[in-house]
């Protein structure tokens, strides 16, 4: 099925306007990562954390994890916009337009990815202003690729659940049960080697594990797994999640 680039652009532009007009949404999305970064970073910066690579302080280890956390929360909750549009009838209006469902999905994912990228880059910028330093200029394009992959993967996940649910309250409750295990199992806050072996097995089925580890490899040149491996896994997961999100969206009740 052909992709209507005009429809993709219009839906992307709509998400951008909604994002820029909702100042409280931007503040709320940034507040929790900043709290984590400030209080955990300040609280543990002088402590000896087992499992940290040599020469890497806790704040330096923490920043990529907090950036990954920002991408996770922002992207998954992007599915809320689908439920919002369902409730207020906008989804029915775009469904009767002469454009493919794939174009609609891609427009939503493009808009959600861009807003998540803006917030992730803002957190990284604030961290750098506070003293965090990347390994070198080549870190930026590689980190950007990981940010895009994390955003698209979890936007796809959010779209899957939003396509199957009917109310925003239920979506928020269900997603909290999913988001927090994904976040805490990813190693965003602590080295995975500190976890019990049976828990460490679960981290390998957590998509965010590869995103956070890849970000660390890109930004500070320290990672538990090869960066190329993390990149390949995240790319595969992103394609899978977007494909599943599009499939569920096409078969949703209002589609």
By the 10 Å C-beta count (0-12 exposed, 13-18 middle, 19+ buried), 236 is classed as middle
Task: Give the pLDDT confidence score for residue 115 in this predicted structure.
Answer: 87
What count of other Cβ atoms lies within 10 Å of the Cβ of residue 226? Answer: 12
Stretch 172-196: mean pLDDT:
84
Residue 92 has pLDDT above 80, yes or no: no
How much is the pTM? 0.88
User: Nearest-CA neighbor of 209 among 160, 150, 161, 155?
Assistant: 150
Task: Give the pLDDT confidence score for residue 237 in this predicted structure.
Answer: 94
**Alpha-carbon torsion, ordered 79, 199, 239, 215, to 10 deg:** 90
How sure is the predictor about 96, in pLDDT bands with cuts at 50, 70 and 90? Answer: low
Task: Give the pLDDT confidence score for residue 46 in this predicted structure.
Answer: 66
What's the chain's average pLDDT?
A: 81
**Percentage of the residues of the chain whose pLDDT score is greater than 90:** 18
Residue 75 has pLDDT above 50, yes or no: yes
Residue 254 has pLDDT above 60, yes or no: no
What count of other Cβ atoms lies within 10 Å of the Cβ of residue 244? Answer: 15
Name the most confidently modeled range: 11-15, 118-122, 128-132, 251-255.
118-122
121-132 pLDDT, tens digit per residue, is 888 888 888 778
Task: Give the pLDDT confidence score for residue 153 in this predicted structure.
Answer: 92
Residue 69 has pLDDT above 60, yes or no: yes
What count of other Cβ atoms lies within 10 Å of the Cβ of residue 193? Answer: 11
Task: Give the pLDDT confidence score for residue 236 in this predicted structure.
Answer: 95
How sure is the predictor about 89, in pLDDT bands with cuts at 50, 70 and 90? Answer: low
Task: Give the pLDDT confidence score for residue 238 in this predicted structure.
Answer: 93
């Amino acid at each position: 099925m052909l992709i209507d680039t005009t429809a993709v652009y219009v839906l992307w532009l709509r998400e951008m306007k909604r994002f820029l007009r909702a100042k409280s949404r931007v503040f709320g999305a940034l507040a929790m990562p900043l709290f984590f970064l400030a209080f955990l970073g300040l609280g543990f910066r002088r402590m000896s954390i087992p499992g940290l690579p040599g020469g890497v302080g806790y704040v330096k280890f923490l920043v990529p994890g907090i950036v990954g956390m920002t991408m996770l929360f922002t992207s998954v909750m992007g599915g809320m916009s689908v439920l919002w549009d369902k409730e207020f009838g906008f989804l029915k209006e775009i469904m009767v337009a002469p454009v493919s469902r794939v174009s609609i999905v891609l427009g939503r994912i493009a808009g959600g990815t861009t807003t998540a990228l803006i917030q992730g880059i803002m957190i990284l910028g604030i961290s750098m202003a506070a003293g965090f330093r990347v390994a070198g200029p080549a870190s930026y394009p590689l980190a950007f690729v990981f940010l895009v992959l994390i955003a698209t993967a979890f936007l796809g996940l959010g779209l899957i659940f939003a396509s199957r649910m009917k109310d925003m309250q239920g979506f928020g409750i269900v997603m909290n049960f999913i988001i927090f295990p994904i976040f805490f199992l990813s190693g965003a806050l602590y080295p995975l080697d500190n976890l019990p072996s049976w828990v460490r097995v679960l981290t390998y089925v957590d998509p965010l594990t590869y995103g956070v580890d890849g970000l660390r490899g890109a930004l500070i040149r320290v990672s538990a797994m090869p960066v190329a491996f993390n990149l390949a896994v995240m790319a595969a997961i992103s394609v899978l999640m977007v494909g599943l999100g599009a499939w569920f969206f096409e078969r949703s009740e209002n589609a």
